[in-house]
Chains A and B, each alone.
Chain A
Amino acid sequence: MNTQNNKIEKLFWTITLVAFAIGLVGVYDRIFYGHIHANYGSYIPWGLWVAAYIYMIGLSAGAFVMSSLVYVFGVSEFKKIGKLSLLVALATLVGALVTIWMDLGHMGRAWRLMLRTNFTSVMGWMVWLYSFYFILLLTELWLAMRSDMLKLRDEASLRGKISRFLLFGDKEDSPEKQEKSMRLLKILGTIGIPLAIAFHGSVGAIFGVVGARPHWHSGLTPIIFLVGAFLSGGALLTFISAIWGPGRGTQEHRNMIVKLGRILLALLAVDVLLEYAEITVGIWQAVPEEAESLKLMLFGTYWWVFWIVHLGLGVVLPAVLLLTRSKSVGAVATAGLLIAVTFISVRLNIVLPGLAVPELEGLVHAYTGPGLTFNYFPSLSEWLLFIWSVSLAALLFLLGKRYLPILDE
């Protein structure tokens, strides 16, 4: 078991580091050439990076809500993965924010989102909400690790040094202090639930309020965003807990994964239901433009993103695994990985079909030039930066897992 796990660990480090190194080319391209090599532009203003952003921010919100099961609702089965879920939430949040920061036309002006906010814009609200969420997440993670870091602080290892640094001079531990930390965690977690719902709901609302894009313009959009976040974040956490969760091989660990698998199945069912509602109502042609977007998604050039990647690999296969082999840790972990990885296709299918239907017929032929097209496929630079930001999140997770007392019981 241990050697096998070492192999998995090595594999993940290798993949992450290689992807990170390759992806750096994309970062270089973005910093020195701006948006010249990107395939998004005027008619398709948002592309892979925006999809990657809502994908990762959804993973973060989902993982965070799982942590609240531990710190707010005291679900004892998941107690051991409380810190793990906070770390996943933090790593994916950083990945998401870096991606969307690179997507801006003027990266140096990002601070204006905070200091010159327009509160009639949903995006203005979103920035403030996830800033609070970021601070809350850091505080929660620190509190959750505090007593473990106190145990580590006397070690001479790098972990000990990091713990000493992160404690900021906090030395003493006592049952009262521990209890105080847990109480504070509960309060923060309680604030965190509506905050996570509000901030990810607002990410959905950014799309939901745009009347010019019928594919997005629906009261269901923020709700689908939320359920998708819980599903994808929960799925990622299930996979990670199955591979790295404390007490691997024990009955307790097995029970936890089985239970996570059941939660996943329920979330998957709700997500499919909402998606079914959205697609069937939309394709009824009541709003021709919305039907156009859906037809693009289902039968357009990139039909396979929906049918094969999302429905096949992200819904049917995991559902079969979760239904028929619900007691197998390996099967549940595979289902989690499949759902989490393929969920980028759901995010792409929100962003792109909504934009790829021309606002005015014939506009595309009126004047041509870079960015004045409704055909979009990410450029090499876009793929590279995407790979880099995902591997950045993975690297943060692997580093956190190695040097912070995340898995300590």
Chain B
Amino acid sequence: MERTEFLKKISSTIFASLLLPALLNNDSGAKAQNHSEVSLPEMPKLPEPTEDEDVLIRMMRDLQRALKKPLEARKWSMVIDLRKCVGCHACTIACAAENKLPDGVIYRPVIEEEIGTYPNVSRRFIPRPCMQCEKPPCVNACPVNATWMRKDGIVEIDYQQCIGCRYCITACPYGSRVFDSGHSYVADAPRKEEAYLSGEGASVYEKTPAFEYGKETPRKEGKSPIGNVRKCHFCLHRIEKGLLPQCVVSCIGRATYFGDANDPDSLIAELISKPNIMVLKEEMGTKPKVYYLM
């Protein structure tokens, strides 16, 4: 590949996923002034399709196509290529940063496995988001209808409705649901103003509002989502604005794919049809929408 072409490709990816929204946002300054509104543009502009474009661009194109369909016609799915995953944990951290996850709350840990004995030994890395099951056992467990499967297949939690009984956590066969006990990464950090990573500076991360489920929620003591059960939601707030989930964008090996499985032209549908596709704990009958390529 030509160097310039390569750079163009990289930069277009970055622009599309990160910079472009910000730039577009500056243009519509009047809109951004309304602080309560989620400051994202309606849809990122994508470059003309080329034959060897980055999969991220292809998936964004797929995503925008899916968004034009009615909600119930979409089937958001994820494919994780275990052969490509290098176990860098970037998705875990990008997810935590995106959703401002506090200490003890994690949506997408990467499980590490060692297979075989020396000299025939290898390692396998299994990122584990919420499986967004088609038959989610957690939904039936909830005593107060605080969690349900949306028409596009994402299992949503209403933080304002959840009473924090944690029954759904026991019902999930994947350990994907976690309890927000109210911990904080910086609670014990020194509070001296001049210290670089302390004082106001250190707590900015935890005070910045998260945009989960499209709602602006700054973290406040005793308020939801503290005391709630939380989990991965495929970055619903990003998808609905035409952006890929943060774990997909941050994957350095392009091992995580996302899209509408109902769209036969999409990359995700292409991958799901491979013979080496599998799901975790198929015997549970939960029908996960997160697939793994072996």
Spell out A's residues near B (CB within 8 Å).
33-36, 38, 40-43, 45-46, 103-106, 109-110, 112-113, 116-118, 120-121, 123-124, 127, 206, 210-213, 354-355, 358-363, 365-367, 369-372
Contact = CB atoms under 8 A, between A and B. Distances in A.
A116 B111 contact: no
A36 B222 CA distance: 11
A34 B175 contact: no
Given A41-B181, A123-B167, A360 B103 contact: no
Contact of B179 (A42, A360, A362): A42
Of B110, B163, B177, chain A has the most CB atoms within 10 Å of the CB of: B163
Contacts of B141: 121, 123, 210
Nearest to B110: A366
B284 A211 contact: yes
Given A34-B226, A359-B175, A367-B110, 13 more contacts: A105-B228, A105-B229, A109-B144, A113-B143, A118-B142, A206-B167, A211-B173, A361-B111, A362-B112, A363-B109, A366-B128, A370-B181, A371-B179
A371 B141 CA distance: 21
Nearest to B108: A367
Nearest to B231: A42
Given A112-B161, A210-B170, A365 B112 contact: yes
Interface of B: 92, 103-106, 109-113, 126, 128, 137, 140-145, 161-167, 169-175, 177-183, 222, 224, 226-229, 280, 284
A127 B169 contact: no
A104 B111 contact: no
10 contacts: A34-B226, A41-B104, A41-B181, A42-B178, A106-B228, A112-B161, A355-B170, A359-B173, A369-B103, A372-B106
B161 A104 contact: no
Contacts of B137: 210-212
Contact of B227 (A42, A105, A206, A211): A105
Given A112-B161, A127-B143, A366 B166 contact: no
Contacts of A210: 137, 141, 170-171
A290 B113 CA distance: 22
A128 to B, nearest CB: 10
A174 B141 CA distance: 51
Given A45-B179, A212-B171, A370 B142 contact: no
A361 B179 CA distance: 20
CB-based closest 6 A-B pairs: A105-B164, A105-B227, A366-B109, A42-B178, A123-B143, A367-B109
Given A35-B182, A118-B145, A362 B103 contact: no
A123 B144 CA distance: 9
Contacts of B142: 118, 121
Contacts of A372: 104, 106, 178
Contacts of B161: 109, 112, 116
Contacts of B92: 366-367
B104 A123 contact: no
B143 A117 contact: yes
B163 A46 contact: no
A33 B112 CA distance: 35
A53 to B, nearest CB: 11
Nearest to B163: A109
A36 B113 contact: no
Of B165, B226, B229, chain A has the most CB atoms within 10 Å of the CB of: B165
A358 B109 CA distance: 14
A121 B169 CA distance: 14
Contact of B112 (A121, A213, A354, A366): A366
Given A366-B110, A370-B183, A35 B172 contact: no
